[in-house]
Amino acid sequence: MALIVHKYGGTSMGSTERIRNVAKRVAKWVRAGHQLVVVPSAMSGETNRLLGLAKELSPDPSARELDMIAATGEQVSSGLLAIALQAEGLESVSYAGWQVPIKTNSAFAKARIESIDDARVRADLAAGKVVVITGFQGVDPNGHITTLGRGGSDTSAVAVAAAMKADECLIYTDVDGVYTTDPRVVPEARRLNAISFEEMLEMASLGSKVLQIRSVEFAGKYRVPLRVLSSFTPWDIDLDVEAKSGTLISFEEDEKMEQAVVSGIAFTRDEAKITVVGVPDTPGIAYQIVGKVAEANIDVDVIIQNVSHDGKTDFSFTVPRGDHARAMELLKTQVVPALGAREVVGDAKIAKVSIVGIGMRSHVGIASTMFKTLSDEGINIQMITTSEIKTSVVIDEKYLELAVRALHKAFGLDEVKA
């Protein structure tokens, strides 16, 4: 008998018919002898409907009240799931975040979980019940309802699994796992049977479509085995097959089933490049540039500073594309004059491509294979940044698909046809 946490996304809970399917699937696990805690999202569309009503009343509604309103979506889907489980002949009870309680800080709309008291849930499990817990929400020290931000139900599920030392946390979603890259760009993209949580973090730009990245951090921190799998397989497929389907996000390197050097190719078009040209190369310039941008609440991602010539250097970095114009204006009016730099140039038409793999730690020459592959395709690399298990390059946006396909092939990720 294992303690298993299931999480079902909004699409999986999107209608009473689908909720009934979720209940049948959960019942299959219970009948196989497992203890089940289930964390559902709101029915798809519901959170947007609720926030839309609030927006009609105020252009800038209070975050505290928005959380009060949005949290009801999961309360409804949790109650409905408990009823569907009862209709399957199981005993079941649903709890809102405050009833568990899942305690968070008071950062409305982006609260962080601080602790989970699992006594009540454990007692219910011991009494043979399936416990349904609302995703996405908790309660702050003053008894206010909080929400964890979009996709927060993944984090709720992982946090519950961590608190209860669950054997595995299964994230049922509308895709069937994590892929070597986006199959819309590379038709040969292959589903990974397993990926380390560190790789998963680096694959954020792919992974964020599948898993809220904070849930992966949580899983890593508390060593919760996490599996992403499809909720659209027939509910009555063999449990042993289902239990091994999808992608396992593992914290044990030796649990990895695949030992590819590079596990996947991540990419994003969401960034823009800015270069401050002719900056006097004195101590503190990085802070004076990046600090100013950060103060304006603009995230800075890739940062490159080349060696200087004649006491001058060029300082480049990327920002979210939506903040590009604002960052450029800020630099032109405040930073360039203050630093005595020559000028600031921007480019929104860039893309970032990353190769990710734990194997890179112990293999040399991976980066050079990447650079050669891009070079062979005539793609100029504008910026490079590396971490222990990732190498990212910034290139002209128009070469993005070409670069991803070439790298996918070069690192042997293309699906092996039978």
Residues near a second copy (CB under 8 A) = 16, 19-20, 23, 50, 53-54, 56-58, 61-62, 64-66, 68-69, 71-72, 75-76, 78-80, 82-84, 86-87, 93-94, 96, 98-99, 143-145
Q: Which residues are paired to 202 by β-bridges?
A: none
Q: How far is the CB of 34 from a second copy (least distance, A)?
A: 22
Q: How far is the CB of 15 from a second copy (least distance, A)?
A: 9
Query: Do the annotations mark residue 11 as ligand-binding?
Result: no
The burial of 113, by beta-carbon neighbours within 10 Å (0-12 exposed, 13-18 middle, 19 or more buried), is given as buried
Query: Do the annotations mark residue 28 as ligand-binding?
Result: no
Q: How far is the CB of 45 from a second copy (least distance, A)?
A: 13
Query: Do the annotations mark residue 414 as ligand-binding?
Result: no
The CA distance from 402 to 351, in Å, is 12
Q: Which is nearer to a second copy, 69 or 298 (CB)?
A: 69
Q: Which residues are paired to 381 by β-bridges?
A: 395
Q: How far is the CB of 94 from a second copy (least distance, A)?
A: 6
Residue whose entry in the numeric block shows the structure tokens 């293309």: 414
Q: Angle, nearest 10°, between helix axes 213-222 and 152-163?
A: 10
Q: How far is the CB of 395 from a second copy (least distance, A)?
A: 44
The CA distance from 392 to 390, in Å, is 6
Sign of CA dihedral 179, 172, 39, 12: positive
Q: Which is nearer to a second copy, 68 or 261 (CB)?
A: 68
Query: Do the annotations mark residue 281 as ligand-binding?
Result: no
Q: Which is nearer to a second copy, 19 or 374 (CB)?
A: 19
How is residue 396 written in tokens? 């002209």
Instruction: Please give the sequence-ordered ranges of beta strands (E in DSSP) within 140-295, or none if there are none.
Output: 145-147, 168-173, 194-196, 226-230, 247-250, 264-268, 271-280
Query: Do the annotations mark residue 210 as ligand-binding?
Result: yes
How is residue 387 written in tokens? 């971490």
Binding site members: 7-10, 47, 74, 173-174, 179, 184, 209-210
Binding site members for ATP: 7-10, 173-174, 179, 184, 209-210
